[in-house]
């Protein structure tokens, strides 16, 4: 029986909230070394050829299972997000903190109390510095594949965590802006393209890169 592997994965505060609310069940991340299609229509990665997959076609399972940095179905991802410990330990490095420290999560201001009745939240620490024991969200991978970014469907865009406007209109929002200002979009796919550009740069959607598509479900830590 193969051992379940765990890997960290970073999410922004809006995406953490989307996971907690059950709106986000998939994430797309750019393939680090972009594949290319050669003159014969072969799907190529570096000097390797992974079969006769034409432009836009699903890539082979050999490539997906062997190269995905996030793992394969059955593996788990522990979420790294921004976090706070008590102000009195602001000068203490994350690796040196006691595992009994109370923690607050700025994404939704939830607390994890561990016997301490009072907490004065300290500095907000970046997600990249979150130790495994501080993580409160554990995800199990249910599917992994590689696609072109712009090949996302409307249903998949909804599963990426975009949401309907709260005013009841049939328009979609990618994120909250300064002062909770939002930009409405007519479709979830357009809202997701806006979210992608916000995270990856203004021309990132137009570049239409190959992306890892990692579907997941939340499990008990």
CATH (domain of 73): 3.10.400.10
Whether residues 75 and 152 share a domain: the answer is yes
Band (221; pLDDT cuts 50, 70, 90)? confident
> What pLDDT score was predicted for residue 114?
62
How many CB atoms neighbour CB 78 within 10 A?
18
Asked if residue 17 is part of any domain, the answer here is yes
The per-residue pLDDT for 96 is 96
| pLDDT tens per residue, range 99-111 | 989 999 999 999 9
Residues 105 and 157 in one domain: no
Q: Evaluate whether residue 64 is within a structural domain.
A: no
DSSP-derived pairing of the beta strands 43-45 and 48-49: antiparallel
* 74 and 152 together in one domain: yes
- Provide the number of structural domains found in the chain: 2
Q: Which range among 3-7, 47-51, 60-64, 125-129 shows the weakest confidence by mean pLDDT?
A: 47-51
41 occurs within a structural domain: no
Asked if residue 215 and residue 172 are part of one domain, the reply reads yes
Read off the pLDDT of residues 166-176 as tens digits, 9 standing for 90 and up.
766 778 887 65
Give the pLDDT band of residue 67 (cuts 50, 70, 90).
confident
**Confidence (pLDDT) at 165:** 77
User: Is residue 62 situated within a structural domain?
Assistant: no
- Tell me which of 109, 131, 153 is where a domain ends: 131
Domain encompassing residue 88: 82-131
Do 161 and 143 lie in a common domain?
yes
Q: Quick check: 177 pLDDT over 60?
A: no
**Arithmetic mean of pLDDT over the chain:** 85
64: confidence class by pLDDT, cuts 50, 70, 90: low
- Asked if 11 and 94 sit in the same domain, the reply is no
pLDDT at 178 over 60: no
Q: Which two tokens stand for residue 95?
A: 């690796």
pTM (two decimals): 0.85
The DSSP bridge pattern shows strands 138-148 and 76-80 to be: antiparallel
| 194 & 153 share domain | yes
Residue 60 forms part of a structural domain: no
Same domain for 99 and 208, yes or no, is no
Which secondary-structure segment (H or E) carries 33? Answer: none
């Amino acid at each position: 029986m193969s051992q379940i592997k765990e890997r960290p994965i970073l999410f922004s505060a809006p995406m953490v909230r989307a996971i907690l609310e059950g709106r986000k069940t998939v994430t797309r991340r750019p393939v680090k070394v972009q594949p290319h299609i050669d003159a014969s229509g072969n799907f190529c990665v570096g000097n390797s050829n992974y079969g006769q997959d034409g432009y836009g076609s699903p890539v082979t399972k050999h490539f997906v299972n062997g190269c995905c940095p996030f793992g394969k179905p059955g593996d788990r991802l522990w979420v790294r997000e921004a976090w706070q410990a008590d102000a009195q330990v602001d000068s203490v490095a994350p690796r040196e903190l006691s595992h009994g420290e109370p923690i607050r999560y700025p994404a939704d201001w939830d607390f994890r109390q561990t016997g301490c009745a009072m907490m004065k939240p300290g500095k907000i620490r970046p997600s990249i510095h979150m130790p495994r024991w501080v993580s409160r969200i554990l995800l199990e991978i249910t599917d992994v594949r590689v696609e072109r970014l712009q090949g996302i469907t409307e249903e998949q865009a909804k599963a990426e965590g975009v949401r309907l406007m709260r005013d009841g209109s049939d328009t979609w929002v990618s994120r909250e802006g300064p002062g909770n200002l939002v930009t409405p979009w007519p479709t979830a796919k357009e809202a997701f393209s806006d979210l992608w550009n916000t995270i990856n740069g203004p021309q990132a959607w137009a570049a239409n890169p190959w992306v890892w598509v990692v579907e997941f479900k939340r499990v008990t830590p």
